[in-house]
A and B are shown apart, each in its own frame.
Chain A
Amino acid sequence: MRAQRKQRLWFVVATLTCVAFAVGLSLYAVSKNINLFFSPTQVVQGKAPKHHLFRLGGMVKKGSIHYADKGLEVSFVLTDYKSDVTVHYHGILPDLFREGQGIVTQGKLNNKGLFVASIVLAKHGSKYMPRVVKEILYKHKGSSHAT
C-alpha cells in the first residue's frame, strides 16, 4: 500500500472512531430518556416521575382486567413479574389487548398510587406462527402441566 493511501485509510478509520465515540457517549448520557417506558418495579421503587406524564410498560396480569358495567372505563394490573401497578383507563383498547400481553401506557400516577392512563398501546412479540401450531403448543403445555 502506498504511503498516501495508508494515510487516507488512517483518516477514514480515525473519522469513524471519533464519530462513533462521540455518538456513543451522547447516547450513553441520555440513555435513560431513550427508553420508551418505565417498568412497574421502577414505579414501585419511586424511580418514575411523580407529578408529570410518563410511559409505563409491562404485561397484563391474568384475571386483573375489570370492565365497568357502563361506559369505557377499564382497570387492569401491569406486572413485570416482580412488582405490580394498577392502571385505570377510559377509552378504546387496541385489538391485541388481552391477558399476558405486553402493553405500553402513557399517563400519570395519582395520589393513591394508581396509574391513570390516557393512551394504551399494545406491544407484540417477535414470534410469528400459524394458529394451528399455536394451538398444538398450547395443548402440549396444558397437558404437561396437568400430569
Chain B
Amino acid sequence: MWTFFYKMSSGRSFYQLSGRFIPFFALASMLLFAYGLVGGLWLAPPDFQQGDAFRIIYIHVPSAFLSLMIFSVMTFCAVLSLVWRIKMADLILQVSCPLGAWFTALALATGSIWGKPMWGTYWVWDARLTSELILLFIYFGVIVLSHTIPEERTAAKASAILTLVGFVDIPIIHFSVNWWNTLHQGDTLKIFSKSTIAPSMLHPLLAMIGAFAFFYGWMCLSRARSLCLLKDKRARWVEELVKSW
C-alpha cells in the first residue's frame, strides 16, 4: 500500500493512473444519476407528512453528505502531505476545496428552500445549520489561504494545517442533532440500525449519494490532472505528451 502512495508522488504515474479511472467514475455517476433522478422524482411515492415536497431530499442529503466526505478526504490528504510529503495529496486537497465549498453551499441553499414550507422559516440558528455554515467558511478559508501564499510549498503546508484544524467541525456537524436539541430532524440514514425511510424512497436516495460521490471523484481527478500538467510543465514527460498529440 505504501508503494502505491509513493508512486503517486510522481506526477507522471498519477497522470496515467487517474486517466484510467475517469471514464469509470463518469459512467458510474451518469448511470446512478439517471436511476436516482427517475426513482426519486417520479417512482418514489409522496411522503405521508410532507407530500411531494420531501423530494428535495434527493439533492439536499447527497450535497450535505458530500460536504462532509470531501472535507474528510481533504483531511486525509493533509496528513499525507504533512507527514509523508506526498505532492499529489496537496493537489487533491487544493482541487477538492472549491468542490466541497460548492456542495456545502448547495446543501445550505436546498435546506433553506426546504425549510420555508415545512418548518416555516428559511433559516434558524440551530446547531446543525450553524455548524454547516461554519464548514462553508472553513472551506473559504482554505481556498483563500492556498491562494494568498505565493510560495508553493508553504501554501500547501498552511492549507494542510488549516484543513487539519477545520476537521474538528466534521464530527460536530454529524452529532449536532444528537448532542443538542435542534429544529433540524435527526438522522434518517443509519449504518448500525434500520434507516427510518421506506425502501422505495431509500434506494433512489442511496443512488443519488453514489452519483454525487462519483461525480466528485470525476471532477476532482480531472482538475488534479490539469493542475498536475501545469505544475510539471517543464518536465520531460509533459513535453513528450504534448509532442505525441
A, B from the same assembly: yes
Query: Does A134 lie at the interface of the complex (its beta carbon under 8 Å from any beta carbon of B)?
Result: yes
Which residues of A (83-98) have their CB < 8 Å from a CB of B?
A: 93-96
A121-B164 contact, Cβ under 8 Å, with A128-B196, A130-B48, A131-B46: no
Q: Point out the residue from A11, A12, A93, A122 that lies within 8 Å of B118, measured CB to CB.
A: A122
Chain B binding surface, main DSSP class:
loop
Q: How far is the CA of A124 from the CA of B56 in the complex (A)?
A: 15
Q: Which of A32-40, A45-53, A67-75, A108-116 contacts B (4 or more CB under 8 A)?
A: A32-40
Q: Are A57 and B181 in contact (CB under 8 A)?
A: yes
Q: Are A8 and B82 in contact (CB under 8 A)?
A: yes
Which residues of B (173-227) have their CB < 8 Å from a CB of A?
A: 179-183, 185-188, 196-198, 200-201
Q: Are B164 and A12 in contact (CB under 8 A)?
A: yes
Q: Are A31 and B180 in contact (CB under 8 A)?
A: yes
Q: Point out the residue from A5, A16, A36, A131 that lies within 8 Å of B180, measured CB to CB.
A: A36
Q: Point out the residue from B50, B117, B181 that lies within 8 Å of A37, measured CB to CB.
A: B181
A36-B127 contact, Cβ under 8 Å, with A12-B164, A19-B165, A126-B186: yes
Q: How far is the CA of A122 from the CA of B164 in the complex (A)?
A: 37
Closest-CB distance, B71 to chain A (whole angstroms): 14
Q: Are B182 and A36 in contact (CB under 8 A)?
A: yes
Chain A binding surface, main DSSP class:
mixed
Which A residue's beta carbon lies closest to that of B196? Answer: A127
Known A34-B179, A96-B49, A125-B186; 13 more pairs at CB < 8 Å: A23-B172, A94-B120, A121-B124, A121-B183, A123-B183, A124-B50, A124-B118, A124-B185, A127-B188, A127-B196, A128-B57, A130-B198, A130-B200
List A residues at the B interface (Cβ < 8 Å). 5, 8-9, 11-12, 15-16, 19-20, 23, 27, 31, 34-37, 39, 57, 93-96, 104, 119-134
List B residues at the A interface (Cβ < 8 Å). 45-50, 54, 57, 79, 82-84, 117-121, 124-127, 161, 164-165, 167-168, 172, 179-183, 185-188, 196-198, 200-201
Q: Which 3 residue pairs are nearest across A and B when measured between Cβ atoms?
A: A94-B120, A130-B45, A134-B48
